[in-house]
Amino acid sequence: MTTGAQIVYVVDDDPGMLESTAWLLESVGLDARPFTNGGDFLDACATGENACVLLDVRMPTLGGLHVQQAMKERGLDYPIIFVSGHADVPIVVRAFKAGAVDFIEKPYNEQLLLDSVQQALNSERKEYQQETGRQQVDDKLDTLTPRERDVLLPLVKGYTNREIAAQLNVSVKTVDLYRSRVMKRMGAERLPDLVGMAVAAGLVDPLRLR
């Protein structure tokens, strides 16, 4: 995912509604990408973007709920806001059960729609930042030698240098050396920073630290 413009995919078979919605989104600086049918949207949509989807429920050929299912199958887990002029209860229930973040009836209040879109994009940005942080930690872990990893795990679990030395059958001086290398490779200035990275990478359970 890139950190560029926030993208809103708008999928609606009503050309007038599609145009007015795209204009509204672009007026507040969002990158609106309109589609008149679900098939074209699915073909154009890609993973790894800071995006959400405004999706009409009732469309010919491929309705909104079917598009939602197809997105899941393709790994397109963007937040979905359904819009519809026929928001009957069973459809609303199905949409939310399948993971929709909001359901707005047409004709919609413009500010309500913008607020919902921004909330969806912010949640996507937060998830992206978490994923990016995890990837950066994983990349740094890949630079560690096997011996440095041997030191890293007990270190972040709370063992002292002397205890680690005994576990690895090496001198405390050697552990000091490897500890310094690990901190440098991981870009950690303090031990708590290193522990946080290990927790983010799933190497240790924060509830089971010493």
Tell me the CATH number at 200: 1.10.10.10
> What's the pLDDT score for residue 1?
42
Whether residue 107 has a cis bond before it, omega within 30° of 0: yes
Same domain, 117 and 149: no
Relative to beta strand 80-84, strand 31-35 is: unpaired
Tell me the CATH number at 55: 3.40.50.2300
Same domain, 67 and 108: yes
Same domain, 22 and 109: yes
Rounded Cα distance between 122 and 159, Å, is 39
Taking alpha carbons only, the member of 128, 127, 145, 140 closest to residue 196 is 140
Sheet holding 51-56, edge to edge: 31-35, 7-11, 51-56, 80-84, 102-105
Q: Which residue has the tokens 């440095």?
A: 148
Has residue 75 been placed in a domain? yes
Same domain, 154 and 118: no
Same domain, 100 and 194: no
Query: Domain tally for the chain?
Result: 2
Single out the residue in 90, 106, 130 at which a domain terminates.
130
Q: Count the alpha carbons within 13 Å of 151 in the hemisphere toward its beta carbon.
A: 25
Same domain, 161 and 190: yes
Q: Helix 172-186 to helix 110-141 angle, to the nearest 10 degrees?
A: 150
Same domain, 159 and 193: yes
> What's the pLDDT score for residue 130?
55
> Per-residue pLDDT for the chain (210 aa), expressed as one digit of tens each?
444 578 999 999 999 999 999 999 999 999 999 999 999 999 998 887 889 999 998 888 888 889 999 998 888 889 999 888 776 666 776 777 777 888 888 888 899 899 989 888 887 555 555 565 667 778 888 889 999 999 998 888 888 899 999 999 999 999 999 999 999 999 887 776 787 778 777 776 654 555
> What's the pLDDT score for residue 133?
60
Single out the residue in 130, 151, 177 at which a domain terminates.
130
Single out the residue in 73, 107, 130 at which a domain terminates.
130
Give pTM, 2 decimals: 0.57
Has residue 38 been placed in a domain? yes
Has residue 78 been placed in a domain? yes
Tokens of 160: 């002292």
Q: Count the alpha carbons within 13 Å of 183 in the hemisphere toward its beta carbon.
A: 13
Same domain, 122 and 61: yes
Local structure of residue 74 (DSSP, 8 states):
T
Q: Count the alpha carbons within 13 Å of 75 in the hemisphere toward its beta carbon.
A: 4
Same domain, 184 and 120: no
Rounded Cα distance between 103 and 116, Å, is 9
Which range of residues forms the domain containing residue 63? 7-130
